[in-house]
């Protein structure tokens, strides 16, 4: 991948080193599976199989994936869980749980429950009629039953216990919900109140999957969301620079997530929750793209690179070389 994948591999190496060390020191077992919860940053195609406009199962998405096929990943190719799975020597991609092309034998070594457009807040999932986080957990419970029927209790419980869980979620709660619709702003007039509400939801989520057997979890916080192309496009008064208020909000919320990570690791025996904060890495790419082998970091690859995403990503107006 050269310099172009440098930041992603830094992120993967951090996760790999931590969980490889913890696995070898505690049980002698390697990570047997990658299990994914979250939003479009980690959705490998679940939204293809629900009635929503939040899909990416068409060109130009997937043009750099195996065989050039769109899969429902919001990417030209693979996404972070795929690379992490490969780094652990498991498999090259993590399949979507709702994809009928796969079955429990495929899911035994990795499965994705994520849904583009979702958030910690159930109201966020309702914006685009996607899978709420509680439903992702219900699918996980269903998966556990299938896994035990397929492999037996002992082997299934070992996979559940030793698997690496990836959680990437939260951006939509702010950009698609709180700052777009009035309901939550009326309920939580100060954004810090809404942050605390989300932290409470996050704590309940982690405690629930801990109770279901999850032990090794990598949590990705918010990116510098003020630097997303859409936010820059509408930031006309500041000449399309990053929206610093949104970036500061992300930093503030990530700080609270860090506090939650420390608390849960202390409160829950055997829990290994890692704060895999990618904010700084992504911001470095945006601010200094040439250091990472990129030429353009202020616009996206779809259309004009400012407003287009999802079904608006027209292949006729998309950049020729995503690298």
Residue 194 belongs to some domain of the structure: yes
Residue 272 belongs to some domain of the structure: yes
Range of the domain at 74: 30-224+248-289
How large is the average pLDDT for residues 300-322?
78
Is the pLDDT assigned to residue 28 strictly greater than 60?
A: no
Tell me the C-alpha distance between 132 and 96, whole Å. 15
Task: Tell me the CA distances in angstroms from 199 to 24, 83, 209, 253, one per residue in order.
Answer: 31, 28, 16, 8
**pLDDT at position 16:** 61
Residue 93 belongs to some domain of the structure: yes
Length reported for the chain: 323
Residue 271 belongs to some domain of the structure: yes
Name the average pLDDT for the chain: 90
Does residue 122 contact residue 138 with C-beta atoms inside 8 Å?
no
Tell me the C-alpha distance between 104 and 76, whole Å. 27
Residue 19 belongs to some domain of the structure: no
Residue with tokens 């990417």, as numbered in its chain: 75
pLDDT tens digit sequence for 108-161:
999 999 999 999 999 999 999 999 999 999 999 999 999 999 999 999 999 999
Residue 59 belongs to some domain of the structure: yes
Residue 307 belongs to some domain of the structure: no
Most confident of 22-31, 39-48, 231-240, 301-310: 39-48
Q: Strand 272-275 relative to strand 216-220: parallel, antiparallel, unpaired?
A: parallel
Tell me the C-alpha distance between 92 and 106, whole Å. 12
pLDDT tens digit sequence for 230-273:
888 888 888 788 999 999 999 999 999 999 999 999 999 999 99
Does residue 184 contact residue 178 with C-beta atoms inside 8 Å?
yes
Is the pLDDT assigned to residue 3 strictly greater than 80?
A: no
Q: What is the CATH number of the domain that holds 272?
A: 3.40.50
Residue 196 belongs to some domain of the structure: yes
Tell me the C-alpha distance between 178 and 175, whole Å. 6
Contacts of 234 (CB under 8 A, 6+ apart): none
What sign does the CA torsion over 170, 175, 179, 182 have? negative
**pLDDT at position 5:** 45
Residue among 82, 88, 83 at smallest CA distance from 18: 88
Find the helix or strand (DSSP H, E) in which 92 lies: none
pLDDT tens digit sequence for 163-209:
999 999 999 999 999 999 999 999 999 999 999 999 999 999 999 99
pLDDT tens digit sequence for 67-92:
899 999 999 999 999 999 999 999 99
The total number of structural domains in the chain stands at: 1
Residue among 144, 118, 145 at smallest CA distance from 132: 118
Tell me the C-alpha distance between 16 and 86, whole Å. 11
Q: Percentage of the chain with pLDDT > 70?
A: 90
């Amino acid at each position: 991948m050269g310099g172009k994948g440098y930041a992603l591999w830094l992120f993967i190496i951090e996760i790999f080193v931590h969980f490889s060390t913890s696995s070898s020191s505690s049980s002698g077992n390697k990570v047997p599976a990658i299990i994914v919860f979250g939003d479009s940053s980690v959705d490998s195609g679940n939204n293809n199989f629900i009635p929503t406009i939040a899909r990416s199962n068409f060109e130009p998405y997937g043009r750099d994936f195996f065989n050039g096929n769109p899969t429902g990943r919001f990417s030209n190719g693979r996404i972070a869980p795929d690379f992490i799975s490969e780094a652990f020597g498991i498999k090259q991609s993590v399949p979507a749980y709702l994809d009928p092309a796969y079955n429990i034998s495929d899911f035994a070594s990795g499965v994705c429950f994520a849904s583009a457009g979702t958030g910690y807040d159930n109201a966020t999932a309702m914006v685009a009629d996607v899978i709420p986080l509680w439903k992702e957990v219900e699918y996980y419970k269903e998966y556990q039953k299938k896994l035990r029927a397929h492999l037996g209790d002992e082997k299934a419980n070992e996979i559940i216990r030793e698997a690496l869980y990836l959680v990437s979620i939260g951006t939509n709660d702010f950009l698609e919900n709180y700052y777009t619709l009035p309901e939550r702003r009326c309920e939580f007039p100060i954004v810090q109140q809404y942050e605390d509400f989300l932290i409470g939801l996050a704590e309940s989520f982690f405690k629930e999957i801990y109770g279901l057997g999850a032990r090794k979890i990598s949590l990705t916080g918010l990116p510098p969301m003020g630097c997303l192309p859409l936010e820059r496009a509408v930031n006309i008064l500041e000449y399309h620079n990053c929206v610093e208020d949104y970036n500061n909000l992300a930093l503030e919320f990530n700080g609270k997530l860090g506090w939650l990570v420390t608390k849960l690791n202390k409160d829950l025996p055997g829990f290994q929750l890692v704060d895999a904060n990618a904010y700084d890495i992504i911001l470095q790419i945006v601010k200094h793209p040439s250091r990472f082998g990129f030429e353009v970091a202020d616009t996206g690859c779809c259309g004009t690179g400012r407003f287009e995403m999802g079904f608006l990503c027209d292949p006729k107006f998309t950049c020729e070389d995503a690298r």
